[in-house]
Amino acid sequence: MPPEPDRELATFAAELETDAIPDRVRDRVGLTVADTLGAIVAGSTDDAVGALARRWTDGVSGGATVIGADGGETVPPLAALCNGAAGTVLELDEGHRFAAGHPAIHVLPALLADAEIGYGDSDAFVRSFVAGYEVAVRTARALGTLQSGYHPHGVWGAVGGAAAVARSRELDPETTRSAMAIAANYAQHTRFEAATEGATVRNAYAGMSNLAALVAADQAEAGFGGLRNGVARHLEHAAAGDVDESALTAGLGDRWEIEHGYFKIHAACRYTHPALDAVAALEAEVDPSAVESVRVETYPAAARLTEPRPRNQLQAKFSIPFAVATALLRGDSGPPAFTDEAITPEAIALAERVTVAVDDEFAARAPEQRGARVTVETADGRRSHEVAAPRGGEHNPFEEARLEAKFRDLVAPVIGADRAATLWERARTPAPPRVLCTLASR
DSSP code per residue over 314-341: HHHHT-HHHHHHHHHHHS--SGGGGSGG
Residues 98, 106: Cα–Cα separation, whole Å: 15
Which tens digits make up the pLDDT trace of 129-183? 999 999 999 999 999 999 999 999 999 999 999 999 999 999 999 999 999 999 9
Residues 88, 85: Cα–Cα separation, whole Å: 5
Confidence of residue 2 (pLDDT cuts 50, 70, 90): low
Confidence of residue 69 (pLDDT cuts 50, 70, 90): confident
Residues 175, 222: Cα–Cα separation, whole Å: 9
Q: What percent of the chain has pLDDT over 70?
A: 100
Over residues 27-45, the mean pLDDT reads 99
Domain annotation for the chain: domains and CATH numbers: 5-265+407-439 (1.10.4100.10), 270-387 (3.30.1330.120)
Sign of the torsion formed by the C-alpha atoms of 244, 250, 253 and 258 = negative
Which tens digits make up the pLDDT trace of 310-351? 999 999 999 999 999 999 999 999 999 999 999 999 999 999
Which tens digits make up the pLDDT trace of 230-272? 999 999 999 999 999 999 999 999 999 999 999 999 999 999 9
Contacts of 39 (CB under 8 A, 6+ apart): 86, 87, 88, 90, 92, 93, 105, 410
Confidence of residue 1 (pLDDT cuts 50, 70, 90): very low
- Assess contact for 147 and 239: CB atoms under 8 A: yes
Confidence of residue 435 (pLDDT cuts 50, 70, 90): very high
- Assess contact for 403 and 412: CB atoms under 8 A: no
Which tens digits make up the pLDDT trace of 220-229? 999 999 999 9
Count Cβ atoms below 10 Å from residue 149 Cβ, excluding itself.
Answer: 10
Nearest to 238 by CA among 201, 181, 197, 187: 187
Is the pTM higher than 0.95? The answer reads yes
Nearest to 177 by CA among 16, 17, 12, 21: 12
Which tens digits make up the pLDDT trace of 151-160? 999 999 999 9
Phi, psi of 424, rounded to the nearest 5 degrees: -60, -50
**CA distances (Å), origin 177, targets 21, 69, 107, 180, 226:** 21, 36, 16, 5, 8
Cβ density class 424-442: b for 16+ within 10 Å, e for less:
bebbbbbbbbbbbbbbbbe
Alpha-carbon dihedral 421, 424, 427, 433, rounded to 10 degrees:
50
Nearest to 206 by CA among 49, 88, 90: 88
